[in-house]
Structure 1
């Protein structure tokens, strides 16, 4: 079963933040050619960008289900595990997160790549130390190399959401929970970035960029962040220790907890982990000790499914896919979506009638590989698969471009809420998958450009919707600003008096009087006033000096029936006149906003107004 022809097979095993992926990239780029398979499209894209920067875009290919960048002279391939072209002859092969061979849905793919994908000169299997005994059994020729974690990972206990330190990632296991937590963070911390596996790379990168730039101090994510995505996270908080794995709600394994907790701390920077308000109970002392010490129960088996079934007949294909593994360290994979769709379609009259045609059977299994991005379920998803198969096995064997164009047009709508946009992106991912298959649809390059352009537009709209809903940029800025000793952020006062700090409106300055933005929430008023007091000192001092030194033209005495006379500067009231010691010596009562200036400034203004009043009395009441 395992291949032993490769001159060098190395298993690099250890916890998170051990530099395994970095090492694999170094080894890849040291060879004349190579490829690495990853668990996530996001991670494949991230490493593709790194390798393209080293070798140049013309040398590097990216291949995932929905995206294909393949220059004619490409020598290095980065891709998702399912899309990895393992038949390709390359000098180096890397298999990342190989412990996912124990995943019920996709595990058989990782197991197959670990057993069969080999580089001409070097093969590197990357994963958790829990794989060690299985590597010894299944890949006996592999040299096992342990990697220690660069930084310390420690337990910080349970906290309230409002007490979480900055640069924290909060991990939840459903979109509803992610949204609820992000909404709470918006109210008292200015907001949070949101990262979920269903997001397109463009949306995910835009959200992460906000977090990395410090525009928000928190990130709310699903367990997608556990798969090697590089983030500047110092604390990981679990909002739940249970997840629905597609079959049942279960507690996370220690290895899963460690994979997620390990995102805290990068390279030499230590990190910590903990929980927030868990009604089902927190981590046990045994779990905490295992995560801190990186000691996890060894995996007892990996999932396997026949990777090379025959296509002579439909019955033969189903039988081969149901074939049990021959090695005791392997166990039969549960029914994944592709196999569930195949079994469902096997009962279709048209499919059954052509069950003896090898080409029709092979193409049926090929289209069953269309991922169910929309999470429709096998029965509903099989309707699309059946239609694709019908086109693939009739006429010129190509999908009807009119059908494809109509579906694309229906999805071309960037309006709507978060869920609507996310749903459209999922549907567009299906079209992206089809478009990059040149053997499925004519003018694949043209359709790929259109589908990816639409995905980009929808991704930008989704990023905007997420930001609008879960980020209060003004509040985030004010909270951050309040912690700064010096006024580092730029302040601008518009011609209409609008005061903006770093582009965010605080309110309006009329003369010396500041009024908070009327649309601001009542709970934000204190922060807005504090920010105005901090940033307007220079502007108010300038205005005070101008008033103290002004000529008579800018000052005016304004009188209205039934009201005491007022003194105005450039049309803005700055003082009122009241009864003084004599008729020709009225008292000058400065506006409250002026009285809050520095005493020397107040004194200079008072003296200038006294001279102005004396001049007016001399002119009008001599």
Structure 2
């Protein structure tokens, strides 16, 4: 090689990747005083520049790319992209890397031009693939060839899923969208990936490569840019696709192109592998063998464009650019971006006028060569270039204020990855413009400005890429797990768990809820690290829970068991409804000791809760004094959880003697007309627990919830399971369900009414139910009554009337009005209701619902029925203010006055209902009238004490006597019979009669 260098020889150093060709060229260049090396990518140029600076210092090394220009005063070595290589410098050494790009459809004509015309004074090297050997030999006859062998083996490993990709792998995509999608998938499954693309700035690319090289991530996602000499520690290369868009169309990659990328695997003496992943189909065996053996079809055609340009006129320049080659090895390159921009701008008369001289044409061509970094339409790019050309031709400089505005619009670091990438592409245009000598007034200033903006955008893009595609938490945890270090976990008062300072999830009770954002390998790493670090916390928490008071534990209406806000278990059905089982929610990683301790504590809690809330019922079941029928009935009460519809035990109730009933009453059992129940178990807490136990015993999938506490009536749930309303402490009647204790109070009131002759609702009936008249009518129909709706004239009080207007009869005056009705009957009132026997009598000694205490939420007793309208006093019409003859009255006015008088005289009406017994209903018969009364409302016969009144024991009604009960529905009077003593207020003699009555 020394003799070759001495005579200015040309050498083609060819061979596969990982042969050290670039390193060899650098060593050869540094052996000379001056040298130039052209590289295919500015990323690779920056890497080589850094290597030479490390060896010789920055004062003698220049870096020249389209967007970057670092040229020290004493430059000896030039590191450039191939397009930016200075011409005619006469350097001692010259090298072109990746010379096989002569065949590239987009940039190949530039490499071909360097192959044909670029030479060093002493030595010229062309570095590249063996496929260039025949074409170099044909085009450069004096060239010598040197083959370098690969330093490591490259093996095809077939297809692998990304989830099974080995560490230190590079996955290659051929579009930005594909690269981002793969990087996102790897972040979820593997913890993160670095991203390398040719469109990245060197600063961003270096920062991303550093993530990979220092081990923060084990995966790299890149475009085919990594195939151009980037030296990374890659063990495996996987192709996610075998096709790419070359700027014009989608095409399959040739075997030599695949080899160029696959060769990045295995650096130095380390062997590497390559394969496919994702949607890429497996390689054909012959293609895989060709890559492993480095045997490819030689390149027969190279791209070419005329370099001898005619700058006389615009048309002459275009013709010279479109000339074809003379050599058959060379093919005319397709129109590049610069030529298309020139043709577009040539259509403008103003541009042609400005480019009227050779200097103007040359300036126009220089402007057209500004790359379209933005990737926008040719017309839009040409429009920008036309404006730049106008400024340069007219002023010789681009105005500072105009370029400042362009840069200011780009100088923003907000937005996502796409927005930042787009701004980086835009700033590259102005960086390129600022690098051109003489285009701006202060080149150093604008180069610094554009470089600073690019650096800020680069740093922001690196941060966004890292934030989106790298999970530092997973990387940290995986690294610590590999090192088998003890991990430190912390749990704050909100249950948030951090391991080594990284948030990994929440501890809810004794279950660890992993961070939902963790997926794939990340989720596995988090789970493994959390299980290792949380083990001592589970034991400490179990001890604290075991010693916690019952007030900190509760159950839900769906059978869940809560410790504060955390679910720690659930109830399951047991052999006995009052002995449910407990299922504890404890992670397996907590261990069996923790699980057993939690389960024991929960079982203690629910057992004590049942014993406390159902204490009267449990005490009754354990009472050894209860024998015979009383004990059997107590067993049924326990089975019914303290509530039994009377119709289900009607015969058993009849069979109970007075001693048995008394013994049961001592335990709080109430024998109501519709329900036999224990009032203490109707409270909200026992009701809530009863519904849960009942749902468990009946195997319900969805547990019905208890009605809100304090409501007398609630809407009927049509879809509720059978028995729900009873267990909730209500009885369904019509469209609403009424609480059973309030129903028994209502039954007390109904017993004193004439259920056969018909009666109207009293204010106290509406008051205790809290219903409107229409709702009460629906309730009564649900209880077995027939409701007839009617209207009548509302009675108004006269001037001298002493009775309250609107009273239905004289007897009603003796009953308490709406304001006098008490919400709770007198405590001393004795119940005498019950289920009638065959003769219609009530068994002696039973007590009705009046013994049940009213709840605080019952409707107020003094509430006036909603449908009752207040009586209005009758007043005389005021006298006319003017004599009739002074006020002319037309015919229409007279008709209006007559209509007004008629309206004033029209009587007001009110709606009322009359209730009569209709049929036998389940759960209780019709309420009985006062004992000894006739069916139509006669006076007491004196045989037996009246219903609801006290009297000597044994003075019950003589069975077999009294009126015979009529069977079936029967129409009775639509309202109560008028009293003989009642004075009709509409009678013209009402005032006189009232006066006589008062005197009498």
TM-score range, shorter chain: 0.7 to 0.9
Query: Equivalent residue of 2:215, what SS?
Result: coil
Alignment of 1:134-283 (within 5 A): 134-278=135-279, 281-283=281-283
Which has the greater radius of gyration?
Answer: 2
Q: In 1, are the aligned partners of 2:413 and 2:456 still within 8 Å (CA)?
A: yes
Q: In 1, are the aligned partners of 2:189 and 2:519 still within 8 Å (CA)?
A: no
Partner Cα distance (1:377, 1:95) in 2? 32
Partner of residue 327, structure 1:
327
Q: In 2, are the aligned partners of 1:10 and 1:145 still within 8 Å (CA)?
A: yes
- Structure 2: any 5+ residue segments left out of the alignment? 555-584, 594-1000
1:486 partnered with 2:484: yes
CA gap of 1:491–1:448, structure 2 versus 1, over 3 A, is farther
Partner of residue 368, structure 1:
368
CA gap of 1:533–1:439, structure 2 versus 1, over 3 A, is same
Q: CA deviation at 1:446?
A: 0.7
Q: In 2, are the aligned partners of 1:7 and 1:121 still within 8 Å (CA)?
A: yes
Partner Cα distance (1:154, 1:357) in 2? 60
- Structure 1: any 5+ residue segments left out of the alignment? 549-556, 565-590, 600-622
Q: CA deviation at 1:354?
A: 3.9
CA gap of 1:312–1:503, structure 2 versus 1, over 3 A, is farther
Partner of residue 570, structure 1:
none
Query: Equivalent residue of 2:504, what SS?
Result: strand
Q: CA deviation at 1:114?
A: 1.5
Partner of residue 313, structure 1:
313
Q: Which has the higher strand share?
A: 1
Q: In 2, are the aligned partners of 1:6 and 1:119 still within 8 Å (CA)?
A: no
Partner of residue 445, structure 2:
446
Alignment of 1:409-448 (within 5 A): 409-448=408-447
Q: CA deviation at 1:473?
A: 2.2
Q: In 2, are the aligned partners of 1:189 and 1:479 still within 8 Å (CA)?
A: no
Partner Cα distance (1:307, 1:17) in 2? 33
Partner Cα distance (1:89, 1:250) in 2? 40
Partner Cα distance (2:467, 2:454) in 1? 20
Partner of residue 31, structure 2:
30
CA gap of 1:14–1:508, structure 2 versus 1, over 3 A, is same
Partner of residue 865, structure 2:
none
1:17 partnered with 2:18: yes
Q: CA deviation at 1:529?
A: 4.4
Q: CA deviation at 1:6?
A: 6.4
Q: CA deviation at 1:159?
A: 1.4
CA gap of 1:502–1:333, structure 2 versus 1, over 3 A, is farther
Partner Cα distance (1:562, 1:287) in 2? 70
Q: RCO greater where, 1 or 2, for CA within 8 Å and sep 6 or more?
A: 1
Q: Which segment drifts farther, 69-78 or 298-307?
A: 298-307
Q: CA deviation at 1:188?
A: 1.3
Partner Cα distance (1:25, 1:499) in 2? 53
Q: In 2, are the aligned partners of 1:315 and 1:355 still within 8 Å (CA)?
A: no
Q: CA deviation at 1:190?
A: 1.2
Q: CA deviation at 1:353?
A: 2.6
CA gap of 1:527–1:219, structure 2 versus 1, over 3 A, is closer
Q: CA deviation at 1:342?
A: 0.7
Partner Cα distance (2:411, 2:209) in 1? 25
Partner of residue 386, structure 1:
386
Query: Equivalent residue of 2:320, what SS?
Result: helix
CA gap of 1:436–1:354, structure 2 versus 1, over 3 A, is closer
Partner Cα distance (2:240, 2:92) in 1? 44
Partner Cα distance (2:438, 2:43) in 1? 25
Partner of residue 875, structure 2:
none
Partner of residue 97, structure 1:
98
CA gap of 1:60–1:517, structure 2 versus 1, over 3 A, is same
Query: Equivalent residue of 2:11, what SS?
Result: strand
Q: CA deviation at 1:559?
A: 5.6
Q: CA deviation at 1:165?
A: 1.0
Superposed CA offset, 1:269-292 (max 9, x none):
11111111436x331112111101
Partner of residue 469, structure 1:
468
Partner of residue 580, structure 1:
none
Question: Which residue among 495, 503, 506 is the counterpart of 1:505?
Answer: 503
CA gap of 1:6–1:367, structure 2 versus 1, over 3 A, is farther
CA gap of 1:87–1:509, structure 2 versus 1, over 3 A, is same
What is the TM-score with the length of structure 1 in the denominator? 0.83
Q: Which segment drifts farther, 368-377 or 525-534?
A: 525-534
Partner of residue 532, structure 1:
530
Q: CA deviation at 1:46?
A: 0.5
Partner of residue 620, structure 2:
none
Query: Equivalent residue of 2:84, what SS?
Result: coil
Count of aligned pairs between the two proteins:
562
Q: CA deviation at 1:109?
A: 0.7
Q: CA deviation at 1:253?
A: 0.8
CA gap of 1:160–1:563, structure 2 versus 1, over 3 A, is closer
Q: CA deviation at 1:35?
A: 1.1
CA gap of 1:113–1:596, structure 2 versus 1, over 3 A, is same
Partner Cα distance (1:284, 1:525) in 2? 36
Q: In 2, are the aligned partners of 1:516 and 1:525 still within 8 Å (CA)?
A: no
Q: CA deviation at 1:502?
A: 5.1
What is the TM-score with the length of structure 2 in the denominator? 0.53
